[in-house]
Amino acid sequence: MDYHTIIPMLAERLSHLNPYKPGEQPSDRDYIKLNANENPYPPPEAVTEEVSWLLTSSRKKLGLYPDPDSTKLREAIAKHLNQTGGVLASDSAAGELHFEITPDMVYCGNGSDEVLSFLYYAFFDNDAPLITPEFSYSFYPVYAGFYNIQLRKVPLKSDFSLDVEGMLKDAESSTGMLFANPNAPTGIALSRAEIRGMLERFPKDKVFVVDEAYADFGKESVLPLLSDFPNLVVVRTFSKSLSFAGMRMGYIVAAPELIRAVTTVKNSVNHFPADIICQTAAAAACSHTTYYRGTTVSIVTTREEFRDSLINAGWEVLPSQTNFVFARKAGKTGREVYEAVKAKGILIRHFDVPGISDFVRITIGTPEQMEMLLSAMEEI
């Protein structure tokens, strides 16, 4: 839309923005929502009890500013990561973390979307390209537009995995590296050994960002690499595995010096990115690892069962280490599949983008929801 013809005093830069389009939230009827990689299970009751206590017995606190640095929450996150190793679905991940993550290695923000935006501002310059996969989280190009940073988009390999060699090509002349692992919307992950290999060959004076939004549903985290690579920045979120999409809490784990740089950006934009309710609830969530291991393992089990059923029904389904699968059926476009299941009251996601337009991205819900989706998809 050309705003300037209607409102001439607007800044010119507004017309160049190409904002992110999130999964739709229609209100015309009740849908089963499998389109935004939300968690079908609620946070544990202990978290909501903590919030109720804040809203009742301690409600005077609502009139005071929250801790700008989320100190208690950063301590809770560090403890949670040391306990889980960054992968709720794996019992062995904690043993792979051979050093302690300390609170000064953690930065908290208003969802990982905001955290990512501050990373762009802090570390990426506009005189050199940022390396990122051609298909990854669709907010990355939006920020590139916002901050006027060029992208070097590296095509995925024919099996939709990341092209490691392609990503490293001409890394010297880049401003940094950014990708999601496991990647979205494919669900495919590189191993930690592969990412270690990339970091060994990547310039040490540039930031290498791994977005681990979905790592809790996978096999490995890159957190253990932080001790060897001070230029590694790991972005994580409470939205997916911790059932917090409505609360907005994302964080970074990195060397304390890098955390201080992002904190400087935060303190130049919004001193208080996390409100007191979110800080309190998120800190409480961190001490309920057993509950979250249970919900995460259930989602992983449902994912594998759903994937097998779809494959048996003639679909191609990429291997996933996330809470979603990326699937296609020969002869159908993603939009056709999306429309067919929407008519049955189920929302999934499709991307009208050449290269992936025949796929749909399906969030893993409860076993009952996936059964309903399967019968809707059987008729396609």
- In whole angstroms, what separates CA 274 from the centre of its chain? 18
Least distance in angstroms from the C-beta of 118 to ligand PMP:
12
Q: How far is the CB of 46 from ligand PMP (least distance, A)?
A: 22
Least spacing, CB of residue 308 vs ligand PMP, in Å: 24
Q: Which residues pair with 176 in a beta bridge?
A: 130, 207
Q: How far is the CB of 89 from ligand PMP (least distance, A)?
A: 17
Is residue 329 within 8 A of residue 360, CB to CB? The reply is no
Nearer Cβ to ligand PMP (285/376): 285
DSSP-assigned beta bridge partners for residue 132? 153
CB of 275 to ligand PMP, least distance (A): 15
CB of 57 to ligand PMP, least distance (A): 30
Task: Name the site residues for ligand PMP (rule: CB under 6 A).
Answer: 37, 111-113, 137, 180, 184, 211, 213, 237, 239, 245, 250
In whole angstroms, how close is the CB of 277 to ligand PMP at the nearest point? 16
Tokens 């206590």 -> residue: 53
Least distance between ligand PMP and beta carbon 113 (Å): 4
Point out which residues pair with 151 in neighbouring strands: 130
Is there a contact between 124 and 256 (Cβ–Cβ < 8 Å)?
no
Comparison of 251 and 329: residue with beta carbon closer to ligand PMP: 251
Q: Which is nearer to ligand PMP, 251 or 291 (CB)?
A: 251
Contacts of 106 (CB under 8 A, 6+ apart): 74, 77, 78, 251, 252, 253, 259
Q: Which is nearer to ligand PMP, 93 or 178 (CB)?
A: 178
What's the one-letter identity of residue 220?
E
> Is the CB of 216 or the CB of 329 nearer to ligand PMP?
216
CB nearer to ligand PMP: pick between 119 and 376:
119
Distance of CA 180 to the CA centre of its chain: 7
How far is C-alpha 129 from the chain's CA centre? 22
137 or 229, CB closer to ligand PMP?
137
Nearer to ligand PMP, 101 or 234 (CB): 234
Across the beta sheet with 349-350, what order do the strands follow? Answer: 316-317, 324-328, 359-363, 349-350
Alpha carbon distance 290, 208 (integer Å): 31
Burial class (CB in 10 A: 0-12, 13-18, 19+), 201: exposed
* The two three-digit tokens of residue 125, written as one number: 């310059």
Q: Which parts of 98-226 fold into alpha helices (H)?
A: 111-123, 139-147, 164-168, 192-201
Q: In terms of Cα–Cα distance, which of 156, 192, 191, 164 is closest to 326?
A: 156
Q: How far is the CB of 246 from ligand PMP (least distance, A)?
A: 9
What radius of gyration do the chain's Cα atoms show?
Answer: 21
Closer of 137 and 160 to ligand PMP (Cβ): 137
